[in-house]
A and B are shown apart, each in its own frame.
Chain A
Amino acid sequence: MKKISTAVWLATAAFLLLAPPFLKNYGIYLLSYWMVFIIATMGLNLTVGYAGQKSLGHAAFFGIGAYTVALMMKAGLSFWLGLPAAALICFMVGIILGFPALRVQTIYLAFATLGFNTAVWLVMRNEEWLTGGTFGINNIARPSLLDLSMEGNLQYYYLVLAFTVLMALLLLGLLKSPWGKAFTALRDNPIRAESLGIDTRSYTLLSFAIGAAYAGVAGGLFASLVQFLEPAPFAVGSSIMMYLMVVVGGPGYFLGPVLGAAVGVVLPEWLRFAQAWYLFVFGSAVVLLMIWLPDGLLSIPDRIRARKQAREASAARAAAAKTMGAQA
Chain B
Amino acid sequence: MTHAHHHDRAQGAPVLQVSGLKKAYGAIQAVGGVSFSVQPGEIFGVIGPNGSGKTTLFNSMLGQITPDAGKIELNGEDVTRLGPLELNRRGVGRTFQTLQVFGKMSVRDNLIVAAQEHSGSMFSRMFAPSDSGLGAKADALIDQFRIRHVADKKAGELSYGQQKLVDIAMAFMSDPDLVLLDEPCAGVNPSLVGGISTLLKELNRNPKIGSHSSFVVIEHNMDFVMDLCHRIMVMVEGKVMAIGTPAEIRANKQVLDAYLGS
Contacts and interface: CB of A to CB of B under 8 A. Distances in A.
A5 interface: no
Contacts of A9: none
Nearest to B83: A194
A184 B112 contact: no
A196 B126 contact: no
A200 B117 CA distance: 11
A184 B100 CA distance: 14
A189 B170 CA distance: 14
B125 A199 contact: no
Given A188-B103, A188-B105, A195 B117 contact: no
A108 interface: no
B87 to A, nearest CB: 8
Nearest to A188: B102
Interface in A158-207: 174, 176-182, 184-185, 188-189, 191-200, 202
A211 interface: no
A188 B139 CA distance: 23
Contacts of A200: 85
Contacts of B122: 199, 202
Nearest to A200: B85
Contact residues on A (Cβ < 8 Å of other chain), bracket: 20 to 34
Interface of B, secondary structure class, is loop
B25 interface: no
A196 B62 contact: no
Interface stretch (B32-40, B127-135, B238-246): B127-135
A50 to B, nearest CB: 10
Contact of B100 (A176, A180, A192): A192
Contacts of B104: 184, 188, 252
Contacts of B174: 196-197
A199 B103 CA distance: 19
B90 to A, nearest CB: 9
Contact of B132 (A174, A178, A188, A252): A178
Contact of B105 (A185, A191, A199): A185
A174 B128 CA distance: 10
A182 B174 CA distance: 15
Contacts of B101: 189, 192
B125 A177 contact: yes
Contact of B130 (A177, A189, A252): A177
A76 B117 CA distance: 45
B100 A182 contact: no
A189 B85 contact: no
A195 B130 CA distance: 21
Contacts of A178: 112-113, 116-117, 125-126, 128, 130, 132
Contacts of B113: 178, 181-182, 184-185, 193, 196, 198
Interface centre among B102, B105, B126, B130 (most CB of A within 10 A): B102
Contact of B102 (A174, A176, A192, A199): A192
A198 B85 CA distance: 7
B94 interface: yes
B56 to A, nearest CB: 17
B102 A194 contact: no
A197 B175 CA distance: 12
Contacts of B126: 174, 177-179
Nearest to A180: B130
A306 to B, nearest CB: 9
A189 B102 contact: yes
B114 interface: yes
A203 B73 CA distance: 29
A181 B105 contact: yes
B97 to A, nearest CB: 12
Contact of A181 (B94, B109, B118, B173): B109
Contacts of B118: 197
Interface centre among A177, A180, A191, A202 (most CB of B within 10 A): A177
Interface in A241-269: 252
A192 B96 contact: yes
B84 A199 contact: no
Contacts of A176: 130
Nearest to B134: A178
Contact of B117 (A177, A182, A192): A182
Contacts of A196: 88, 113-115, 117, 170, 173-174
Interface of B: 62, 83-85, 88-89, 93-94, 96, 100-105, 109, 112-118, 122, 125-128, 130, 132, 170, 173-174
Interface of A: 174, 176-182, 184-185, 188-189, 191-200, 202, 252
Given A179-B125, A199-B122, 19 more contacts: A177-B126, A177-B128, A178-B132, A179-B126, A181-B113, A182-B113, A182-B125, A185-B105, A188-B102, A188-B104, A188-B105, A192-B100, A193-B102, A194-B85, A195-B88, A195-B94, A195-B96, A196-B114, A198-B113
| A-B pairs, 8 with minimum CB distance | A192-B100, A197-B88, A181-B113, A197-B117, A188-B102, A178-B125, A178-B116, A196-B114
5 contacts: A178-B125, A179-B125, A195-B94, A196-B113, A198-B117
